[in-house]
Amino acid sequence: MEFRTEAGHVVPAITAAQMREVDRIAVEEFGLGLLQMMENAGRNLAGNVMELLDTAAGRVVVLAGAGGNGGGIACARHLHNHGFDVAIVLDREAATLTGAPAAQLATLAAAGLVPANSGEAPGLVHGADLVVDALIGYSLAGAPRGRTAELIELCNASASRVLALDVPSGLDATTGETPGLVVRPDRTLTLALPKTGLARVPGDLYLADIGIPPEVYARLGIALASIFGSAYWLRLGCQVGAEL
| Alpha carbons 150 and 52: distance in angstroms, whole number | 25
The model's pLDDT over 81-99, given as tens digits with 9 standing for 90+, comes to: 999 999 999 999 999 999 8
**What is the pLDDT at residue 200?**
87
| Alpha carbons 131 and 159: distance in angstroms, whole number | 6
Residue 112 predicted with pLDDT over 80: yes
User: For the domain 2-239, what is the CATH superfamily, name and number?
Assistant: YjeF N-terminal domain (3.40.50.10260)
**What is the pLDDT at residue 244?**
42
CB 87 within 8 A of CB 151: no
Helices (H), 99-209: 99-110, 121-127, 146-158
Residue 68 predicted with pLDDT over 70: no
| Alpha carbons 224 and 213: distance in angstroms, whole number | 10
Residue 69 predicted with pLDDT over 90: no
Residue 67 predicted with pLDDT over 90: no
Average pLDDT in the chain = 93
The model's pLDDT over 125-166, given as tens digits with 9 standing for 90+, comes to: 999 999 999 999 898 989 999 999 999 999 999 999 999 999
Residue 243's pLDDT band (cuts 50, 70, 90): very low
Kindly state the helix (H) or strand (E) to which residue 236 belongs, with its residue range: strand 233-239
Kindly state the helix (H) or strand (E) to which residue 130 belongs, with its residue range: strand 130-134
Q: Which pTM was predicted?
A: 0.95
| Alpha carbons 7 and 188: distance in angstroms, whole number | 19
| CA dist list (Å): 56 to 24, 59, 72, 82, 119 | 37, 11, 19, 8, 28
Vertex 160, ends 155 and 163: CA angle to 5°?
65
**What is the pLDDT at residue 152?**
98
Residue 57 predicted with pLDDT over 90: no
The model's pLDDT over 178-199, given as tens digits with 9 standing for 90+, comes to: 999 999 999 999 999 999 999 9
